[in-house]
Amino acid sequence: MLVFDVTRPPPTRLELEAEKQQLKEQRRQLIKASLISDLLHGLIFLGLYLSDLLTGHAVLAAIGLGTIVAVILASTLKKQLRSTDVALVGLVALGVVSAACGILVGVMAESLTPSLLAGLAAGSIVIAGAIIGRKFFHVFTGLENLKYVSEDEIAAQELLALCSRHQELEVYRQQAREILRPNLVFGELQAMREWLRRG
């Protein structure tokens, strides 16, 4: 992955383009994985409903629980998933399995075996949704970082102001111009902000 750092030489156009293509390919793979996951989970819940093992309300409750927890996890985990994050997802998924079974059996008076199957499917939604969702976020953030600052007038003014006040940042901008990159990208602007925070 391309790391933007104003203390190092700016990336070339070829490096930026290679990063963009890599991220687009990752996005394509994630969309495919997401569709397969949704299809498999949908078939499980549809099977439980059509075979009269669970009521429609029970199916919706299990899907809703799994989806809500998956969205929360995907939006709160670190940018790059660490082993501790994956372990947390696994523990939360087990909790969702237990909660779904408890709700379906204890509250909605459903049978134990179909409720357990629905709970396992809900836990699987949590695992797949949290991991795929976080990776999606990382890819979309990466693609946003590759957009040119010149496309946003406010960001372009901020960039000019930062470079005019800090010689080190102006040197970085000049280095980018020397390699025929007059327009910096948002990832570089963010790196400048982080450099100021560290400074």
Q: How far is CA 2 from CA 20, 91, 128, 167, 187, in A?
A: 10, 32, 26, 24, 10
**Cα Dmax for the chain:** 71
Considering the entire predicted model, what is its pTM? Answer: 0.83
User: For residue range 66-76, what is the model confidence (pLDDT) as tens digits?
Assistant: 999 999 998 88
Query: What parts of the chain have a pLDDT lower than 70?
Result: 78-80
195 with 6: CB under 8 angstroms? yes
Please tell me the predicted confidence (pLDDT) of residue 33: 96
User: For residue range 21-52, what is the model confidence (pLDDT) as tens digits?
Assistant: 999 999 999 999 999 999 999 999 999 999 99
In a 10 Å sphere around its CB, with 0-12 CB exposed, 13-18 middle and 19+ buried, how is residue 36 labelled?
exposed
27 with 139: CB under 8 angstroms? yes
Domain map (residue ranges) of the chain: 13-145, 149-198
Cβ-based neighbours of 58, under 8 Å, separated by 6 or more: 104, 108, 110, 115, 118
- Strand, helix or coil at 76? helix
Which residue's entry shows tokens 């976020």? 137
Please tell me the predicted confidence (pLDDT) of residue 79: 63
Token representation of residue 157:
């003014």
3 with 187: CB under 8 angstroms? no
